[in-house]
Amino acid sequence: MKPRDGRGTADTYCVAKYGDKWVRTRTIVDSLNPRYNEQYRWEVYDPATVLTVAIFDNSHLGDKGSTGHNDAKIGKVRVRISTLETGRVYTHSYPLLVLHPSGVKKMGELHLAVRLSCTSTLDMMHIYSRPILPKMHYTRPLTMMQQEMLRHQAVNIVTARLGRAEPPLRREVVEYMTDAHSHLWSMRKSKANFFRLMSVSNGLFSLGKWFEEVCMWKNPVTTTLVHLLFVLLVCFPELLLSTLFLYLCVLGLWNYRYRPRSPPHMDTKISFAENVHPDELDEEFETFPASRSSDLVRLRYDRLRSVAGKVQTVVGDVASQGERAQALLNWRDPRATTIFIIFCFLAAIVLYVVPFQVLAVIAGFYVMRHPRFRHKLPPAPLNFFRRLPARTDSML
C-alpha cells in the first residue's frame, strides 16, 4: 500500500463488520506490506447480507497522536454472502480504492480469503422465502424522516459502544464502515444511478430493437419463423407460459458457463468515478451545511436546478400519460369518452362473436406487416390517445 506519513510508512489496522459484529486487528507499525494473518468466524443469519472489510491508517500513535487527525481510510471491500458458493475458498486480492476531492486513488490491495459453509442446504434455501425485516417493519413501517433519525442515532450508539472497546474504534471508522453519509446528494452518484438504470433497461431496449427489425423484415427468415411461432402460441395458448419458463430455464443454464469466478469488488466505472469533474467531487466532499463561497454555492445550486428541471419534465410527462388514460372514462373530453365507449361496445361484440385466436393472429400479423404496407404517420389510436386532456392546463 502507499505511504501515509512523511516517513514513507503507514501504521495500519483492519476492521471487519458483519451484521452487529465488529472486529479489529492489531496495528502493524511502519509497514507498507502488513500481514495480519488473523482468522474470524461468523454465523450467517441471512445470505442476503454483506461482509465489510476496511483498512485504516492509525493517526493516534506516537507523535501523530497529538495532531488530532482522524484515522485515514485506505479502502474497503464488500463481499455479499449470497454471491459465494458453499464450501469453496475464495482467495483474491481486492484493490483498495478511495475517492478523494482530487479523484479516485488506488491505495493498495487487500489479500482476503473467504469461505462459506452451511450445515443444511434446505434451511439456506428456505431463508430466501422469509421476510428480510421483522414483522413490525411491515405492520407499522417507518417514515423517511424516522429512518433518517434512526440511522443517525444508530451511528451515535455504535460509536459510543465501540469507542469504549480496547482498542477503540472512532467515529470516522464507524461512519465509513456503515456508509453513514451515502444518502447525501452527489452529482456523481446521481449519474451512476442513471447509467445503472440504463444498463438494466438495455435488455428491454435490445428486445424492442430486435422486434422492430422483425417488423421491418430485415431478415425474412427470422420474421417468417417469428410468424410461425406466434401462430403456434395463439393456437395453443396453454403453451405460452410453459414456453416462457422453459426459455428462462435454458437461458439460466446457458449463463452458468459465464458465472463470476470471484466475488465482485469496487468498480470505478459503475461508480462513475473515473471521468468525474473536479467540481462535482468537491461538491460531494462539501460539508453540510455548505461552507464554500456564496458564488460557488450559487453556481452549484443553478446546476442542481438544471438537473432537477429535466427530472421534473420526465415526471410530468409520465403523469400526463396516466391522466390521459384516466380521461378515457371520466368525461373530461365528452367527445373522446363517447368515441371510447362506442369502441368498447363494438369491441365487446366482436370479441364475443369472433374467436380470440383469430383476432390475436390478425393483430399480430398487422403489427408485423411488411414495410410496404406501413405509413410514416402515427396510427389513429395513438393520435386519439395523444389528444386526450391532461391536468397540465390546470397547473400554474
pLDDT at 7: 60
Handedness of CA 244, 248, 253, 255 (dihedral sign): positive
8 A C-beta contact, residue 62 and residue 97: no
pLDDT at 305: 85
Asked if pLDDT for residue 329 goes beyond 90, the answer is no
pLDDT category of residue 110 using cuts at 50, 70 and 90 = very high
Here the contacts of 214-222 (C-beta below 8 Å, separation 24 or greater) are: 214/368, 215/367, 215/368, 215/369, 216/371, 217/370, 217/371
Distance between CA 141 and CA 6 in Å, rounded? 51
The answer to whether the CB of 104 falls within 8 A of the CB of 98 is yes
CA distance 334 to 342: 12
Contact 191, 272 (CB under 8 A): yes
Taking residues 193-219, report their average pLDDT.
Answer: 85
Give the amino acid at 120. Answer: S
What is the structure's pLDDT at 173?
92
Q: Give the per-residue SS3 of the chain.
A: CCCCCCCCCCCEEEEEEECCEEEECCCECCCCCCCCCCCCCCCCCCCCCEEEEEEEECCCCHHHHHCCCCCEEEEEEEEEHHHCCECCEEEEEEEEEEEECCEEEEEEEEEEEEEECCCCHHHHHHHCCCCCCCCHHHHCCCCHHHHHHHHHHHHHHHHHHHHCCCCCCCHHHHHHHHCCCCCCCCHHHHHHHHHHHHHHHHHHHHHHHHHHHHHCCCCHHHHHHHHHHHHHHHHCCCHHHHHHHHHHHHHHHHHHHHCCCCCCCCCCCCCCCCCCCHHHHHHHCCCCCCCCCHHHHHHHHHHHHHHHHHHHHHHHHHHHHHHHHHCCCCCCCHHHHHHHHHHHHHHHHHHHHCCHHHHHHHHHHHHCCCHHHCCCCCCHHHHHHHCCCCHHHHCC
All cell numbers assigned to 39 = 482468522
Check pLDDT > 90 for residue 379: no
Q: What is the mean predicted confidence (pLDDT) over 320-332?
A: 88
150-171 average pLDDT score: 91
Question: CA 350, CA 347: separation in Å to the nearest integer?
Answer: 5
Residue 3's pLDDT is what?
A: 66
pLDDT of residue 208: 86
Determine the pLDDT at residue 113.
92
- State pLDDT tens for residues 40-65: 999 988 888 899 999 999 887 765 55
341, three cell numbers: 365507449
Task: Give the pTM.
Answer: 0.76
Determine the pLDDT at residue 155.
Answer: 92
More confident residue, 6 or 116: 116
Dihedral sign of CA atoms 71, 75, 81, 87 in order: negative
Q: What is the Cβ-side half-sphere exposure of residue 222, based on CA atoms within 13 angstroms?
A: 10
User: Is residue 1 within 8 Å of residue 107, measured between CB atoms?
Assistant: yes
pLDDT tens digits along 268-286: 888 888 878 888 887 787 7
In 10 A of CB 45, how many CB atoms? Answer: 11
